[in-house]
Amino acid sequence: MTTTPEPKARPGRNYFGRVKVAGRWFNPAAMHGTANGYKNSGCRCYRCRVAGSAEAMEKRMARAAQRVLAHGGWYHPHAPHGTANGYSNYMCRCPACRQAMHQVYLKRKARRRANADT
């Protein structure tokens, strides 16, 4: 178990006391197995990661339920349109969100090709 410098914590986060164990952040003071342990304490143990993922999936599914069918495609009325966030987290498939996600795809593809050449 090694102690490494703490990254800057966002307001409301209790990242102090975290240590790196086997390459992952672990916070002994966290409520393990809760989304709070993942988000606010910054613990990345298996139980906290599973809880954080489950909460994120629940939020995505709740946002997906708010979509409406418009002009032959799914549209989310509250999504940040024209962003990859709107496409991925709100599951909006309006032309602006689809174009934004396509641009992300092209950047990732170019980065993969550049890394394959080196």
Coil, strand or helix at 13: coil
**Range among 1-10, 41-50, 103-112 with highest mean pLDDT value:** 103-112
Q: Tell me how far the alpha carbon of residue 39 is from its chain's centroid.
A: 11
pLDDT of 55 reads 95
Instruction: State how far the Cα of 27 lies from the Cα of 19, in Å rounded to an integer.
Output: 6
Calculate mean pLDDT across residues 108-118.
Answer: 89
pLDDT band at 5 (very low <50, low <70, confident <90, very high): low
In 3D space, the residue among 26, 32, 24, 59 whose CA is nearest the CA of residue 48 turns out to be: 32
pTM over 0.85: no
User: What pLDDT is stored for residue 8 in this prediction?
Assistant: 58
Contacts of 84 by beta carbon, 8 Å cutoff, 6+ apart = 97, 100, 101, 103, 104
For the cut 70, the answer to whether the pLDDT of residue 11 exceeds it is no
pLDDT of residue 16: 74
Tokens of 98: 């689809």
